[in-house]
Amino acid sequence: MNAPEKKIGAPMNRVDGRQKVTGAAKYSAEYELPNMAYAVLVGSTVTKGRLSSIDTKDAERAPGVLAVITHLNAPKAPGVKPTGKDPSQPQTVGSALQVFMDDKIRFNDQPIAVVVANTLERARFAARLVRAQYAKEKHQTNLEANKANAFLPTQAKKNPKSPAADYQRGEVDAYKTGALKLEAEYVIPTEVHHPMELQAITAHWEAPDRLTLYDKTQGTMATRRDFARQWGLPEENVKVIATYVGGAFGNALHSWPHESAAIIAAKVVNRPVKLMLTREQMFTMVGYRPHTWQKIGMSATADGKITAITHESIGQTSTYEEFVEATLGQTKMMYQSPNLTTRYRLAALDVGSPIWMRGPGEATGAFALESAMDEMAFLLNIDPMEFRLRNYTDQDPEKNRPWSSKFLKECYQAGAQRVGWNKRQLKPGSLRDGEWFIGYGMGVGTFGAHRGSSKASAQLLPDGTVLLQSAVTDIGPGTGTAMTQIAADTLGLPPEKIRFEWGNSDFAQAPTQGGSAIVNTVGPAVQEVCMALKDKLRELAATSNGAFATAKKEDVSFADNHLTLAGNSTARATYADLVRQAGGKAVTVESKPSGEGQKFSMYSFSVHFAEVRVHELTGEVRVSKLISCADAGTIINEKTAGNQMKGGAVGGIGMALMEHAIIDDRFGRYVTKDLADYHVPVHADSPAIEVFFVNQPDPYVNQLGTKGIGEIATIGVAPAIANAVFNATGKRVRELPITPDKLV
């Protein structure tokens, strides 16, 4: 028999494609449970202060209303501690902000009540009838005005080795004495994840001590842990189901107040309760990429060697949580600069907490760093790619150790050739096509190739299919498909014979989907459990057929309804027998990173090349070409991985040209309330994006050779576009988004 075709690397269609194109895929607000009730949140209309009174009478009397819950009558979850005491403590774990705990208002639209009714319309109507009076206090929502109060994050104070701590190599602020230097400030506004699926949860107390949540979360285990803790329940009494997640991009990496509210509501009315946020509420209470100010100082020699970089950043956080991200990470390791200083600070404002948004801090930081690289290259009159090559790092200058793998130069070449970099002129404004200026720009991205521990389980079913399970979620990258491919190759089975199930906290333990780490982490667990299953089946087969006892697991293969052994045509063990012998038990393994990785710096790398057209009169910017090149290790599925890269690039177009959540500081309230005010890229904003993968395995991250794609797909895109706009027009925009008013 021929070895089956390798599935790893193949552009296989998604295993859940049919579900998604027929509408059969069920997201968290789409489960039908008997006696469902609907919950609608009422938010504070002030930004800071106390609730002096709340009148719920009219709402309670409204038709169909089952309960109106506020801090005055909410049952207290036993595991909840008063919040706001130590904002440095909770981050993704723990629900930092409970609802209905006290009368304190910490941000505008903070939930002050939840109305539960037997239909959605009735709940929505009654929610309008809740009236509150407030004792208002002066609030602060403006980052610029609060920069002077910025502080070093507590984690950095406690631990000078924390990535958020000040970093120094060589001399402090050495750029100041450089002969050729630049100093520039960069700002990104608040950006909101806005996945197409609104945040939603269906909470169901199946018994007084058993809770089931159909929830939009990136981590079923983390959500289970948070709410088990909140309600003082053993973890196994809480079940979290997130089979389909309608995008998240980071905003489901945290447990949020609306989830607590739905759980409380379900407890009070003793029925399953469904709660879906509105698009306005998506701005205020489920995180965002924080408004961030940055300053870069850089010096270089005339022949294009960087001598020093100082990179400072102040990011917005809330008053009740210290949200920290790796804004300055890329600066520390991307370019060979003997002197390097970074300072990361936070400014606490009266707003909801931020949360990592795709590419997170690294994307914010890369906007500043990669813009500054372009500015310096211009100052030196050197091609920006050439400038980057002159400062290329062959080993990690931050940790002084080798890269586990780095094929960034290959990416530069591939991208430059595809975008037509040779057409680029050093002098801005040189190229035009009628009324349109044309420009080219590039931006580099990097993100740690993280790998954690994960379990996976596998079981042979009587029909000869193998059932694999993992608690991991698939928020869109195609995790289920990639895992099926890995299993298919390991088992030597066609993918149709493999059923990978995910998104349920009862399944084998797996980490939260985020930080580009899932294939790195769960992939090896799937591979190892498949090998363990083969070995287990061989052992079981050996009890009836001696040939299996001494066979190697590699020689075991699957036929129609039985196992066979390579080189032994008579050895066979039927599935029916094996399944009976296994007694319905699955094989479970845990896969952990080896210590080997400690010797290396492990990163994925990307470079994005943009061609833009800028209208000379209107300042309209069109991205006419976008080429994204990645060194992400082995590519498990070219089709889904390519799609993920393109999607990240589209996110970068949004970041560069349109995304901007605006607060009116007089009220502390967002004036961008929906997708008509907050623009995200639509079909017409996106060119046909081209993707190139180096597709070279990394020898150290894991045995599959993967490094991760999710973040590097976005990191570096916004500066590539900003740099292209400069090349087209000579206008340097240092404050995103690049809207036409900044160009005319």
Choice between 139 and 194, CB closer to ligand FES: 194
- Token readout for 366 is 């890369």
Terminal Cα-to-Cα distance of the chain (whole angstroms)? 68
Stretch that binds other proteins, among 8-16, 201-209, 295-303, 694-702 (CB under 8 A): 8-16
Minimum distance between the CB of residue 43 and ligand FES, rounded to whole angstroms? 20
Indicate which of ligand FES, other proteins, none lies near residue 430 (CB less than 5 to 8 Å, by partner kind). Answer: none
Q: Which of 61, 76, 399, 580 binds other proteins (CB under 8 A)?
A: 61
Burial of 65 (0-12, 13-18, 19+ CB in 10 A): buried
Cα angle 657-660-666, degrees, rounded to a multiple of 5:
150
The answer to whether the beta carbons of residues 458 and 467 sit under 8 Å apart is yes
The yes or no reply on residue 680 touching other proteins (CB under 8 A) is yes
Burial of 550 (0-12, 13-18, 19+ CB in 10 A): exposed
Site for other proteins in 640-669 (CB under 8 A): 640, 642-644, 646-651, 665-668
Minimum distance between the CB of residue 132 and other proteins, rounded to whole angstroms? 7
The answer to whether the beta carbons of residues 398 and 333 sit under 8 Å apart is yes
Q: Which of 10, 26, 452, 499 binds other proteins (CB under 8 A)?
A: 26
Minimum distance between the CB of residue 457 and ligand FES, rounded to whole angstroms? 28
The yes or no reply on residue 32 touching other proteins (CB under 8 A) is yes
3-state secondary structure of 169: strand
Helix or strand (DSSP H, E) at 560: none
Choice between 58 and 555, CB closer to other proteins: 58
Burial of 394 (0-12, 13-18, 19+ CB in 10 A): exposed
Choice between 280 and 535, CB closer to other proteins: 280
Query: How many residues at the interface with other proteins, by CB under 8 A?
Result: 96
Minimum distance between the CB of residue 143 and other proteins, rounded to whole angstroms? 10
Residue 599 is given by DSSP the state G
Indicate which of other proteins, ligand FES, none lies near residue 124 (CB less than 5 to 8 Å, by partner kind). Answer: other proteins
Minimum distance between the CB of residue 106 and other proteins, rounded to whole angstroms? 15
Site for other proteins in 316-355 (CB under 8 A): none
- Token pair 């590699």 is found at 554
The yes or no reply on residue 500 touching other proteins (CB under 8 A) is no
Q: How far apart are CA 305 and CA 738, in angstroms?
A: 29
Choice between 79 and 247, CB closer to ligand FES: 247
Indicate which of ligand FES, other proteins, none lies near residue 180 (CB less than 5 to 8 Å, by partner kind). Answer: none
* Binding pattern for the stretch 398-437 against other proteins, x by CB under 8 A and - elsewhere: ----------------------------------------
Choice between 476 and 523, CB closer to ligand FES: 476
Q: Which of 39, 123, 132, 211 binds other proteins (CB under 8 A)?
A: 132
Indicate which of other proteins, ligand FES, none lies near residue 617 (CB less than 5 to 8 Å, by partner kind). Answer: none
Q: φ, ψ for residue 489 (rounded to 5)? A: -65, -40
Minimum distance between the CB of residue 130 and other proteins, rounded to whole angstroms? 10
The yes or no reply on residue 179 touching other proteins (CB under 8 A) is no
Minimum distance between the CB of residue 639 and ligand FES, rounded to whole angstroms? 14
Indicate which of ligand FES, other proteins, none lies near residue 229 (CB less than 5 to 8 Å, by partner kind). Answer: none
Q: Which of 50, 104, 131, 295 binds other proteins (CB under 8 A)?
A: 131
Residue 587 is given by DSSP the state E
Q: How far apart are CA 332 and CA 339, in angstroms?
A: 10
The CA-atom distances, in angstroms, between 195 and each of 270, 276, 683 are: 30, 13, 16
Choice between 222 and 277, CB closer to other proteins: 277
Indicate which of other proteins, ligand FES, none lies near residue 198 (CB less than 5 to 8 Å, by partner kind). Answer: other proteins
The yes or no reply on residue 503 touching other proteins (CB under 8 A) is no
- 355: Cβ contacts below 8 Å, ≥ 6 apart: 92, 193, 250, 251, 253, 254, 286, 287, 288, 323
The CA-atom distances, in angstroms, between 659 and each of 234, 308, 533, 727 are: 42, 32, 48, 22
Burial of 554 (0-12, 13-18, 19+ CB in 10 A): exposed
DSSP-derived pairing of the beta strands 436-448 and 454-460? unpaired
Residue 703: count other Cβ atoms within 10 Å of its Cβ: 15
What residue type is assigned to position 360 of the chain? P
Q: How far apart are CA 306 and CA 410, in angstroms?
A: 22
Catalytic residues: 711
Q: Which of 16, 226, 375, 398 binds other proteins (CB under 8 A)?
A: 16
Q: How far apart are CA 261 and CA 263, in angstroms?
A: 5
With DSSP H G I counted as helix, E B as strand and the rest as coil, what are the percentages for the chain, rounded to 5? 30, 25, 45
Q: How far apart are CA 376 and CA 306, in angstroms?
A: 9
Choice between 474 and 489, CB closer to ligand FES: 474
Site for other proteins in 705-734 (CB under 8 A): none
Minimum distance between the CB of residue 575 and other proteins, rounded to whole angstroms? 26
698-701 own/partner pairs: CB under 8 Å, 24+ apart: 698/404, 698/405, 698/449, 698/602, 698/633, 698/634, 699/404, 699/405, 700/404, 700/405, 700/596, 700/597, 700/599, 700/600, 700/602, 701/404, 701/449, 701/451, 701/520, 701/597, 701/602, 701/633
Stretch that binds other proteins, among 1-9, 276-284, 364-372, 406-414 (CB under 8 A): 276-284
Indicate which of ligand FES, other proteins, none lies near residue 46 (CB less than 5 to 8 Å, by partner kind). Answer: other proteins
- Token readout for 108 is 């505008």
Minimum distance between the CB of residue 18 and ligand FES, rounded to whole angstroms? 15
* Binding pattern for the stretch 600-639 against other proteins, x by CB under 8 A and - elsewhere: ---------------------------------------x
Indicate which of ligand FES, other proteins, none lies near residue 676 (CB less than 5 to 8 Å, by partner kind). Answer: other proteins
Burial of 85 (0-12, 13-18, 19+ CB in 10 A): exposed
* Binding pattern for the stretch 96-125 against other proteins, x by CB under 8 A and - elsewhere: -------------x-------xxxxxx-xx
Choice between 411 and 709, CB closer to ligand FES: 709
The residue ranges that bind ligand FES (CB under 6 A) are: 196, 247, 476
Q: How far apart are CA 652 and CA 647, in angstroms?
A: 9
The yes or no reply on residue 676 touching other proteins (CB under 8 A) is yes
Residue number with the shortest CB distance to ligand FES?
Answer: 196
Q: Which of 70, 95, 110, 140 binds other proteins (CB under 8 A)?
A: 140
The yes or no reply on residue 213 touching other proteins (CB under 8 A) is no
Q: Which of 287, 352, 476, 511 binds other proteins (CB under 8 A)?
A: 476
Q: How far apart are CA 697 and CA 613, in angstroms?
A: 37
Stretch that binds other proteins, among 58-66, 362-370, 419-427, 560-568 (CB under 8 A): 58-66
